[in-house]
Amino acid sequence: MLCLVSRDQLLGADTVAKVLRQAAAAMGADSAKFSCHSLRCVGATALLSSGVDSTLVMLHGRWRSDVFQRYTRYNQQAAVNLAMQMAGAST
């Protein structure tokens, strides 16, 4: 189970994966490259890029160790945030 949709309805990983792959295919992407795991990676990356503390990311994603850091990606937003922090630290 990934989440509770309503009091009587659960949303499972299989359903999420199916919808995700359908959406990827509709956009012309290789649907085989998308999974629920992809969402965990993207979610962790987005949280870190927006400045959320890594401990909170780990707790939210239910990782028991810092292994989540292997799945996160350094992206342009992370670079911008880092540059802004560096500029702020030097003033």
> What pTM was estimated for this model as a whole?
0.58
Counting Cα atoms < 13 Å in the Cβ hemisphere of 75 gives 15
Position 26 scores a pLDDT of 96
Domain ranges in the chain are 1-34, 37-91
pLDDT digits (tens, 9 = 90+) for 15-46: 888 988 999 999 999 999 888 887 888 888 88
Q: What is the DSSP secondary-structure string of 49-87? A: HTT--HHHHHHHTT-SSGGGGGT----HHHHHHHHHHHH
Instruction: Check if the beta carbon of residue 31 is closer than 8 Å to that of residue 22.
Output: yes
